[in-house]
Amino acid sequence: MLLNHARLMRFFIEAEDIIGRKKLQKMIYILKKMGVPFNEKFAFHFYGPYSEELTLRIEELCNLGFITEEKQDKGHYSQYHYRISDAGKQFLEQAPDDLPACKEEIEQLNNQRSRFLELVATVLFFEDLPRHEIEKKVQEVKSSANYSESEIEEAWQFIDQLKQNQLH
């Protein structure tokens, strides 16, 4: 098993339960931006940063029986629940991973709504720009989300809080 797969499995042990594909993508992206050694490449997509590599790795882990994916019909959309399986836990006991201790950060992210994580991830995607340009860019690329100034300010505060606890 590759190290990147083992890191994801350790992430699922720490997270216990992830509800939603979008939330999963944003959590991994934000953790990566905070210094957690995830190697998946991300590009900007309709819902913010997205990694096809991550999607494929999750699919592989599901096919191997190490991660469970439970699809729930919510009427006009489907929602997915992810968690590590007993087989995944047993395998990870044998497989090395180097994911730093980040349970607190994972819980902090997992307690947020997907919409908010999408905003945070989008802000981080443009972090090389000055703050006012980032905010302008967020309003442009996420115009349909109609983020308020207070939501954007909350995202900045959340990012600052994450960076204060940043892993080294």
- Assign 80 to helix, strand or coil: strand
Give Cα 163 distance to the centre of its chain: 16
pTM to 2 decimals? 0.93
pLDDT of residue 1: 52
Total residues found in the chain within this entry:
168
DSSP 101: P
pLDDT of residue 165: 76
Query: What DSSP letter does each residue of 103-156 carry, written as one string?
Result: HHHHHHHHTS-HHHHHHHHHHHHTTTS-HHHHHHHHHHHTGGG---HHHHHHHH
pLDDT of residue 168: 43
pLDDT tens-place values along the chain, 168 residues long: 578 889 999 999 999 999 999 999 999 999 999 999 999 999 999 889 999 999 999 999 999 999 999 999 888 888 999 999 999 999 888 877 788 888 999 999 999 999 999 999 999 999 999 999 999 999 999 988 999 999 999 999 999 999 887 654
Q: Phi and psi at residue 130, in whole multiples of 5°?
A: -65, 155
Other residues' Cβ atoms within 10 Å of the Cβ of residue 14:
16
Residue 49's H or E segment, with its range, is strand 48-50
